[in-house]
Amino acid sequence: MARIVIVSNRVPIPKARVAVAGGLAVALRDLLVPGTLWFGWSGRLAADPAPQPALVEARGVTYATIDLAADAHRALYVGFANGALWPVLHFRLGLMHYRREDWLGYLAVNHTFASSLRQMLRADDTVWAHDYHLLPLGRLLRRQGFGGPLGFFLHVPFVPPSVLEAIPVARELVADLCAYDVVGFQTEEHARDFRDCAQRLLGAVVDGEWLWLNGRRLRAFADPIGIDARAFAGEAARAVHDKLVQRVADSLSGRALAIGVDRMDYSKGLPNRFEAYGRLLERHPAHRRRIHFLQICPRSREEVDAYRKLRVELDRLTGRINGRFSEFDWTPLRYSTRAAPRATLAGLYRIGRIGLVTPLRDGMNLVAKEFVAAQPDDDPGVLVLSRFAGAARELSEALIVNPFDPDAIADAMHAALTMPVEERRERQAVLKAKVFRTSAAAYCRRFMDALAAQAPRAVAA
Ligand code: F6P
């Protein structure tokens, strides 16, 4: 069997004897078989980084990483990927800070990645690159003579041509994506937006999921990511005995728990969610003292201005809500920037009466799926879900809200708190069946099958 080579900006090198932790590592677990190579950034900055990757072997998988110089990392991560591309791909043009030098730096780091990886590639390898830090990697690998199957998956949303065109290098970015044999997206809407961009900006001919460009055929399709729901549900059931989860449960004193868990990112709609909670307490005083809202929100990307401002804004909103509604023995909003282990989160989801997942835009949002998987069947909680999260395409039995409307979120919270148990059970049964039907393994299999079916034709064309 051909070797699989995964490429991503961050590489989750496992610690000895510790199971792989969250994110991409969990999603790709089925591909982490002996022989697989995972390549990317080491997470370290160096004054004069070596071009040769450092190698770590764990359970037969080789993790190959390179250090980056501080200015290269700044241009790639802070400047272009998160300062320009991320806001555009989340429909936030006003937050885009495009600088030509960042774009050139982004290209240069992708070039470094390609050159360093190229030395390790065999002719029959299958390469699967991930996410918006690495759009040009496939084209650069091709330029360096790699002829094997090349796939790319975008974990964040994609946008229609009218939005993408705001970024001055829109054409280059779409052309870069077209250099892959298969490009995967979280939803059909994102895949269609990409195909529209390729048609409009490059003149590609679109035929269903296929695109014809310069005599080559590539596939751009939706491959929604799933979770290992059975394992997560088991983890959640066990985690109610976790000390921290028990302490939280005890501290509720019978009150309902509304829970939100997000990286601190402006795409997550946190200020609107906080405001919605304030409106719930204002418009429905009966819920006062009967609910706690716990928002777990680990700090993120604070090198970027917009992220620092968000933190200040959330501190302010927390103070305002607690100042206005707190009683001497009740604090309505608990907000923590501390990260929690996955097992603890699973336990907190399980005791949550409301799961608040209200991003303004999100590729998929696995918290929504994890909340559903974690709920008990007999007395389940209710998921309040943004219509602009990829997960809403599948989880239509959640209470679907427009996250730009704090009153709509407040209404949904009220509906969740007053929903009869029969209705909660009915919704949960359908949601659970959906979440259990999808899996991380199926996501990988679909992508690998698409790549295997597509690549020979792309070469022959
Ligand atoms: O959502 C996109 C994504 O790249 C995820 O895959 C990842 O978990 C998250 O952003 C973290 O971003 P960063 O690497 O900037 O901390």
Measured from the CA of 9, which atom of ligand 1 is nearest? 14
Cα 128 to Cα 3, 36, 52, 169, 184: the distances in Å are 11, 11, 20, 23, 10
For residue 435, report the phi and psi dihedrals to the nearest 5 degrees: -65, -35
Q: How far apart are CA 11 and CA 83, in angstroms?
A: 21
The reported pLDDT for the residue numbered 20 is 46
Quickly state the pLDDT bin for 456 (edges 50, 70, 90): low
Q: What would the mean pLDDT of 6-15 be, rounded to a whole number?
A: 91
Q: How far apart are CA 133 and CA 154, in angstroms?
A: 10
Q: What would the mean pLDDT of 255-273 be, rounded to a whole number?
A: 98
From 228, 242, 262, 362, the catalytic residue? 362
Distance 199 CA to ligand 1 centre (A): 29
pLDDT over 90 percentage in the chain? 93
pLDDT at position 220 over 50: yes
Choose the residue to mutate in 11, 77, 131 for probing ligand 1, maximizing ligand atoms within 8 Å of C-beta: 131
Higher-confidence residue: 18 or 382?
382
pLDDT at position 171 over 50: yes
CA angle 408–414–419, rounded 5-degree value: 120
- In single-letter form, the type of residue at position 150 comes to L
pLDDT over 70 percentage in the chain? 97
pLDDT at position 457 over 70: no
Distance 369 CA to ligand 1 centre (A): 18
Choose the residue to mutate in 78, 187, 300 for probing ligand 1, maximizing ligand atoms within 8 Å of C-beta: 300
Cα 369 to Cα 248, 332, 356, 357, 414: the distances in Å are 22, 26, 12, 10, 22
Distance 23 CA to ligand 1 centre (A): 8
Mean pLDDT of the chain: 95
SS3 content of the chain, % helix, strand, coil (to 5): 50, 20, 35
Residues contacting ligand 1 via CB (< 6 Å): 10, 23-24, 131, 155-156, 300-301
Distance 377 CA to ligand 1 centre (A): 32
Q: Per residue in 225-262, pLDDT tens?
A: 999 999 999 999 999 889 999 999 999 999 999 999 99
Choose the residue to mutate in 9, 74, 263 for probing ligand 1, maximizing ligand atoms within 8 Å of C-beta: 263
Q: CB–CB of 240/351 below 8 Å?
A: yes
> Of all protein residues, whose CA lies closest to atom 8 belonging to ligand 1?
23
User: What angle, 0 to 180 degrees and rounded to 10, lies between the N-to-C axes of helices 270-283 and 406-418?
Assistant: 60
The reported pLDDT for the residue numbered 461 is 32
Measured from the CA of 82, which atom of ligand 1 is nearest? 15
Quickly state the pLDDT bin for 455 (edges 50, 70, 90): low
- In single-letter form, the type of residue at position 357 comes to V
Q: What would the mean pLDDT of 373-380 be, rounded to a whole number?
A: 97
Quickly state the pLDDT bin for 1 (edges 50, 70, 90): confident
Residue recorded with tokens 């402006």? 266
Task: Mark residue 206 as left, alpha or beta (left: phi above 0; alpha: psi -120 to 50; beta: remaining).
Answer: beta
Q: How far apart are CA 129 and CA 208, in angstroms?
A: 23
Q: In what order do the strands lie in the sheet with 291-296?
A: 333-336, 291-296, 256-261, 354-357, 382-386, 399-401
The reported pLDDT for the residue numbered 460 is 36
Q: Per residue in 110-127, pLDDT tens?
A: 999 999 999 999 999 999
Measured from the CA of 362, which atom of ligand 1 is nearest? 1
Q: What would the mean pLDDT of 341-352 be, rounded to a whole number?
A: 96
Q: Per residue in 276-325, pLDDT tens?
A: 999 999 999 999 999 999 999 999 999 999 999 999 999 999 999 999 99
From 155, 190, 287, 292, the catalytic residue? 155
Q: CB–CB of 209/221 below 8 Å?
A: yes
Establish whether 362 is a catalytic residue.
yes
Q: Per residue in 74-112, pLDDT tens?
A: 999 999 999 999 999 999 999 999 999 999 999 999 999
Residue recorded with tokens 């200040």? 312
Q: What would the mean pLDDT of 439-458 be, rounded to a whole number?
A: 86
Cα torsion angle, 102, 108, 112, 115, sign: positive
Cα 133 to Cα 9, 121, 258, 314, 419: the distances in Å are 6, 20, 34, 27, 43
pLDDT at position 270 over 60: yes
Measured from the CA of 133, which atom of ligand 1 is nearest? 4
The reported pLDDT for the residue numbered 397 is 98
The reported pLDDT for the residue numbered 26 is 84
Higher-confidence residue: 454 or 136?
136
**Which token pair is 400?**
């679907």
Measured from the CA of 24, which atom of ligand 1 is nearest? 6
Distance 85 CA to ligand 1 centre (A): 13
Distance 300 CA to ligand 1 centre (A): 9
